[in-house]
Amino acid sequence: MNPPNARFAFPAAVLAALLVTGCVTAPVAPATKPKLVVLLVVDGLPQRQVTDYRDQLGPDGLNRLLERGAWFADAHYGHGFTVTAAGHATMLTGAYPNRTGIIGNEWRDPAKGVAVYNTGDEAHSYLGHKTARLDGTSPKNLIAESLGDVLRGADARSKVIAISGKDRGAILPAGKAGTAYMFMKQTGQFASSTYYMKEHPAWVSAFNGAKPADKYLKAVWKPLLPEMAYARSVPDAQPWFAKGGKLPRVMGETLDEPGPLLYDDLYRGPFLDALSLDFARAAIAGERLGEDDATDILSVSLSGHDYINHAWGAESRLSHDHVLQLDNLFAAFFRDLDKRVGKDNYLVLLTADHGFMPAPEFSKSRGIDAGRQSASQSLAKVNAALAAKFGEGHWALGWSAQAIHLNNALIAERRVDRGALEDEVKRVLLTEPGFVAAFTRAQILDPMTPPAPYLDAVRKAYYPGRSGDIQAVLRSHWMFSSSSSTTTHGSPHPYDTHVPILAWGPAWVSAGRREARVEVADIAPTLAKVLGIRPPAASEGKPLPIGP
C-alpha cells in the first residue's frame, strides 16, 4: 500500500535531474539581506487612526504589518515643529531638523529676508513642466546624508527611487544619490527634475503617455462600509469643514474634460494614492527593482490623507474611510510585491511624516480648551510692545517656521541690547492665549539653559542660520488662525508626534507589538543594520528591536 500523498513524491535522483534541467523551480532561500526595502509613508496619519479602526481593517493590508510584523505602540517624532518636509527629511537620515537643516516646508532666509522652499533650487527645473521659483526640484537644502546615499556609496548597483504626490515627499527620502518623481498638477503626470536626469526613462514616458490620471474624471469616492460603521467618527458636512466634506465625492464633478482642476481634486480622495502606487509598480518593473543581489530602496509617500485631514479633520468620516481605502490599496500592493519580488525578498516599513491635531471646533465640542491663535495679531502686539520699550521701528519682521525673525539691521543701528529685546518678545507672546512656551535663540543654543517643557523638542527643530530668533510653542489644541486649513499639525504635542512605525519581512522581522517609546529617527539605523551598512553620518537614532 502506498503511503499518503505518494502520487506527489519524486525519487531523489529524478527530482535532482528536473531541477538541473529547469523543469521544476527550486524553492528560493531567503536572502541574507532584502533585495528590496519599501518605505511606505502615509502623509498625516496619526497612530490613533491605525489602532482606532483596526477592527475594520482587512486581513492583508495594514494587518499584515500589525499581526505578522513588528509594530511600535509608542513611536514619536522628537522635534517640535512637525511638518511634512521635516518629517520626510528625518525618516532615512535618522536625524532631526537641527542636523538636516530642513526646519519646515518653507522659511525666511534670515540674511536676505526672502522665502526659501525646503526643496527649492533655481538651478534645476521639472522635466517637461513649468517650474515656479519656489517649486521643489532638488535636495540642495538637505545637509544630512541619507540611507540611500550610504547604500549607493557601498554598491553603485543599488537603486533608490522615491515617489510622492508632493515634491518634498519624494525628494527628501531620495537623498542626494537617489531619484525622485513627483505628481504634477499641471498635467496629471509624474515627473523628475534636471537634478536627477536629462530626460525620463522609457518606462516613465510610457506610464505618462497612457494618461492614467484622466480615467478618474467623474470617479466616485464612496464609503466602503455601511453608515453605522462610522459611528465613532464625526458625521459629514460639519460647519467647520472645508467645501466638499461629504461622501460620496465625485472627482472633477463640474468638469467636462480632464485638466489641472481634476488633477488637483485627486489629492482629496483615494485616487492619487492609487495612482502613486501604480507608478510605483511601473518603477519596480521599469527599474527591475529587487531583481539582483544589490539591495534597492523604494520610497512611496502617499499624500491624500494629509489633504483630507487638513480639509475635514482626522476625526471625520472622510478621514476614517480613507484609512480603510488605503488598507485595500496596501493589500493589493503587497500581493503584487509578493509575486514580483517574492515574499522572502523584501522588507516593508510604514510610517508617517507627522500626526494631526483635532479641529479646534471638534475639541471645543468635547469640553477641551482649544482655539485659533492669530499670527498677525501676535506679531502686531510684539511690535507695539517693542516700540514702546525700545523706540519706534519695525523690530519684528515676521513669522517663519513658527519663530519670529527680528530686524537685525535695526538692532545694530540702534545698538539695542539684543537679549533684552528677545526677552520682551517672549514676554509678549506668552500673554497670548494660544502659546504655552517661547524660547530665545540664546536659550536654545546654550547647553546650560535649565531644562524646561518643550525645550528639547524645540532644540531638535532649530537650525542656526535658518531658524528665527524666538521660537514659539502653540498650546495644546490651538493652531494659527492664519492657516487656510480646517485643522493642521506642527506642534510637539502627542497628536502631532505620535505616528505609526510598522515593519514586515519574515526573514528580518519577528511579529509582535513593542511597547517601549521609540522615535522616527530610529528607522534609518534600523534599516542600515538590516542591510549591513553603516548608519547615515548625522543619524542620532538607534536600531529598533524588529528581529527575533
Using one digit for the tens of pLDDT, what is the confidence trace for 16-41? 333 333 333 333 344 589 999 999 99
Please tell me which residue in 32, 82, 84, 137 is annotated as part of the active site: 84
Q: Does residue 139 contact residue 104 with C-beta atoms inside 8 Å? A: no
Q: Which helix (H) or strand (E) holds 180?
A: strand 179-184
pLDDT of residue 112: 87
pLDDT of residue 481: 86
Which cell goes with 36?
528590496
pLDDT of residue 30: 45
Cα–Cα distance, 528 to 319 (Å, whole number) = 33
Which cell goes with 323?
484609512
- Classify strands 518-519 and 75-76 as parallel, antiparallel or unpaired: parallel
Cis omega before residue 492 (within 30°)?
Answer: no
> CATH topology for 371-480?
Gyrase A; domain 2 (3.30.1360)
**Half-sphere exposure (Cβ direction) of 291: Cα atoms closer than 13 Å:** 9
Same topology, domains 36-355+498-531 and 371-480? Answer is no
pLDDT of residue 287: 98
**Half-sphere exposure (Cβ direction) of 140: Cα atoms closer than 13 Å:** 18
The amino acid at 226? P
Cα–Cα distance, 401 to 496 (Å, whole number) = 16
Q: Left, alpha or beta for 5 (phi > 0: left; psi -120 to 50: alpha)?
A: left
Q: Left, alpha or beta for 211 (phi > 0: left; psi -120 to 50: alpha)?
A: left
Nearest to 149 by CA among 449, 533, 548, 445: 533
Rg, C-alpha atoms of the chain: 25
Is residue 2 predicted with pLDDT exceeding 50?
A: no
- Classify strands 189-191 and 470-474 as parallel, antiparallel or unpaired: unpaired
Is residue 507 predicted with pLDDT exceeding 50?
A: yes
Average pLDDT, the chain: 93
Q: Is 93 exposed, middle or buried (0-12, 13-18, 19+ CB in 10 A)?
A: buried
Q: Taking the model in full, what pTM does it have?
A: 0.93
In the predicted model, what is the mean pLDDT of residues 169-178? 98
In the predicted model, what is the mean pLDDT of residues 429-441? 97
At CA 180, angle to CA 111 and CA 101, rounded to 5?
A: 30
Task: Provide CB contacts within 8 A for 68, sequence distance 6+.
Answer: 504, 506, 511
pLDDT band at 113 (very low <50, low <70, confident <90, very high): confident
In the predicted model, what is the mean pLDDT of residues 228-247? 96
Nearest to 523 by CA among 515, 462, 531: 531
Task: Provide CB contacts within 8 A for 366, sequence distance 6+.
Answer: none
Q: At what angle do helices 84-91 and 167-174 cross, to 10 degrees?
A: 20
pLDDT of residue 459: 98
Which cell goes with 414?
540702534
Q: What is the 3-state secondary structure (H, E, C) of 226-264?
A: CHHHHCCCECCCCCCCCCCCCCCEECCCCCCCCCHHHHH
Using one digit for the tens of pLDDT, what is the confidence trace for 360-390? 999 999 999 999 999 999 999 999 999 999 9
Using one digit for the tens of pLDDT, what is the confidence trace for 314-340? 999 999 999 999 999 999 999 999 999
pLDDT of residue 127: 98
Query: What is the maximal distance between C-alpha atoms in the chain?
Result: 106
Which 8-state DSSP code applies to residue 40? E
Question: Rounded to 5 degrees, what are φ and ψ at 346?
Answer: -135, 155
Cα–Cα distance, 460 to 462 (Å, whole number) = 6
Which cell goes with 479?
493652531
**Taking the alpha carbons of 114, 79, 136, 49 in that order, is the dihedral positive or negative?**
negative
Active site residue 194: no
pLDDT of residue 111: 86
Q: What does CATH list as the number for 36-355+498-531?
A: 3.40.720.10
What long-range pairs does 479-484 form, CB within 8 A, spacing at least 24? 479/357, 479/360, 479/372, 479/373, 479/434, 480/372, 480/373, 480/374, 480/375, 480/434, 481/372, 481/373, 481/374, 481/375, 482/374, 482/375, 482/376
Which 8-state DSSP code applies to residue 97? H
| Domain locations along the chain | 36-355+498-531, 371-480
Using one digit for the tens of pLDDT, what is the confidence trace for 123-152? 999 999 999 999 999 999 999 999 999 999
pLDDT of residue 18: 30
